[in-house]
Amino acid sequence: MRRLIHTTRLPEWALAVTLMLLVPVIFSGCGKRNDAGPASRVSIAVFVPGVMSGSPIYEMLAQGVQRAGSEYPQAEVQVVEAGYNQAEWEPKLTALAAAKSYDLIVSSNPSLPALAQAVSAKFPEQKFLLLDGEISGNPAIYTMRYNQREQAYIAGHIAALIAQEGKTPIGVSKKIGLIAGQEYPAMNTIMLPAYGEAARTIDPAFKVDFRVVGNWFDAGRGAELALDMIRSGSAVILCVAGGANEGVVQAASETGAKVIWFDTNGYGIRPGTVAGSAILRQDLAAYEQTKRFLDGTLPFGTAEVVGIKDGYVDFIEDDQNYIAAVSSEVRAKQAELLRRIRTGELVLGN
Ligand code: RBF
């Protein structure tokens, strides 16, 4: 492992600017340094491309890395929120690598591999562990991407079952909604198509109303889009919009519409309104892969894709709020789909 304390040729003002840019929000592992001295310390930065609050995928990222760090006395973990201005991500990531203070930078987002690749060209010694993205062949970068075709498929399946059953103010409907924070390749080419494809296995007439917030925080805009969708006939809406999800849930609960939650178990957020949770075990992935790094076994240069059979993508069926919100007929059909995927009877690809 590289030494934590080192000499740097950056002028003092550059260092000050770097530190200001990197507003550290959480420190953990402080005080856990062992007596062997700084040479044995391992410093890990969690680079959050956005903010954690309201985005379960980032909350899980930080939790997982911190949990791994807490199991190794020599490890220290620092979480850095890069904010919503995506133009600032590359300079901020560059500053983090330029500081030469971190043995590993951990992050999560489909846009991170390209950014890390650019930073890696300038700072080839900097190691990256990237989740929810994919790149292979760079000896400094390891990636783990989730099978989001499966995740969106199981979400579309339950959404269509509930819409078809018609126990909402709209009645029987062949239209389901999807609200995304922004358009990006994984959304447009994987999640949106899989969501509709699953719905059309329930009835080929199903259509998807797809709307985009334009950012990952505007709950007011999320609510507006959801209300408009409900007025146009979608009573079940999948939300993948970070902090804007809150507005979608609010609008749905006021109108009796249903929300399908993505990434974490969302039933408790608004019992009765949240009627499905298609999750990623990003906390587990972050924990396990950080541990592999700390054990010296993380296979840098490789890219893994994991899904339902590996236990990293799932649908939560045993939550009391799900059981109370969704009829036993719909739950039985959803359970049957999950069984077929888990046993390999239905292979969705990725
Ligand atoms: N998901 C979030 O929950 N919060 C975010 O702030 C967020 N920002 C993103 C920014 C970009 C540029 C991209 C490509 C995706 C972003 N996502 C965000 C979506 C995230 O990567 C993932 O696709 C979803 O969380 C669904 O698993």
Phi then psi for residue 30, to 5 deg, are -65, 140
The Cα 311–Cα 345 span in angstroms is 16
- The answer to whether 221 and 244 have CB atoms below 8 angstroms apart is yes
Q: At what angle do helices 12-21 and 89-98 cross, to 10 degrees?
A: 130
Express as a percent the part of the chain with pLDDT over 70: 89
DSSP-assigned states of every residue in 175-230: EEEEEESS--HIIIIIIHHHHHHHHHHH-TT-EEEEEE-SSS--HHHHHHHHHHHH
The Cα 25–Cα 194 span in angstroms is 36
Hey, whose CA ends up nearest to atom 19 of ligand 1?
109
Which pLDDT tens digit goes with each residue over 78-91?
999 999 999 999 99
Atom of ligand 1 nearest to the CA of 245: 3
Hey, whose CA ends up nearest to atom 18 of ligand 1?
242
Q: Which has more confidence, 30 or 14?
A: 14
pLDDT at 17: 47
Which pLDDT tens digit goes with each residue over 170-204?
999 999 999 999 999 999 999 999 999 999 999 99
Express as a percent the part of the chain with pLDDT over 90: 87
pLDDT at 70: 98
Residue of 59, 108, 184, 350 with the most ligand 1 atoms within 8 Å of its CB, for mutation: 184
Ranges of each domain in the chain: 5-146+282-306, 148-279+317-343
Q: What is the mean pLDDT of residues 247-262?
A: 98
The answer as to CATH 3.20.20.60 being correct for domain 148-279+317-343 is no
Domains 5-146+282-306 and 148-279+317-343 share a fold: yes
Residue 31 CA, ligand 1 centroid: distance in Å: 33
Is the pLDDT assigned to residue 35 strictly greater than 70?
no
pLDDT at 350: 84
Q: What is the mean pLDDT of residues 34-42?
A: 60
Q: What is the mean pLDDT of residues 43-66?
A: 97
Atom of ligand 1 nearest to the CA of 108: 21
Is the pLDDT assigned to residue 152 strictly greater than 70?
yes
Q: What is the mean pLDDT of residues 18-32?
A: 42
- Sorted by sequence, the CB contacts under 8 Å of residue 123 that are 6+ apart come out as 94, 97, 98, 100
Alpha-carbon Rg for the chain in angstroms: 21
Q: Which amino acid is at 143?
A: T
Q: What is the mean pLDDT of residues 71-75?
A: 97
pLDDT at 12: 44
- The answer to whether 244 and 112 have CB atoms below 8 angstroms apart is no
Lateral strand order in the sheet of 207-212: 207-212, 175-180, 236-240, 258-263, 274-280, 313-315
Burial of 288 (0-12, 13-18, 19+ CB in 10 A): middle
Is the pLDDT assigned to residue 8 strictly greater than 80?
no
Which pLDDT tens digit goes with each residue over 316-331?
999 999 999 999 999 9
Residue 169 CA, ligand 1 centroid: distance in Å: 31
Residue 58 CA, ligand 1 centroid: distance in Å: 9
Atom of ligand 1 nearest to the CA of 50: 6
Q: What is the mean pLDDT of residues 290-304?
A: 98
Residue showing tokens 């103010």: 169
Which pLDDT tens digit goes with each residue over 243-254?
999 999 999 999
The Cα 223–Cα 270 span in angstroms is 15
Ligand 1 binding pocket, CB closer than 6 Å: 50, 55, 57, 86, 109-111, 132, 181, 184, 186, 216, 240, 242, 262-263, 280
Q: Which one, of 250, 245, 251, lies nearest residue 216 by Cα?
A: 245
Is the pLDDT assigned to residue 28 strictly greater than 50?
no
What architecture (CATH level 2) is domain 5-146+282-306? 3-Layer(aba) Sandwich (3.40)
Average model confidence (pLDDT) across the chain = 91
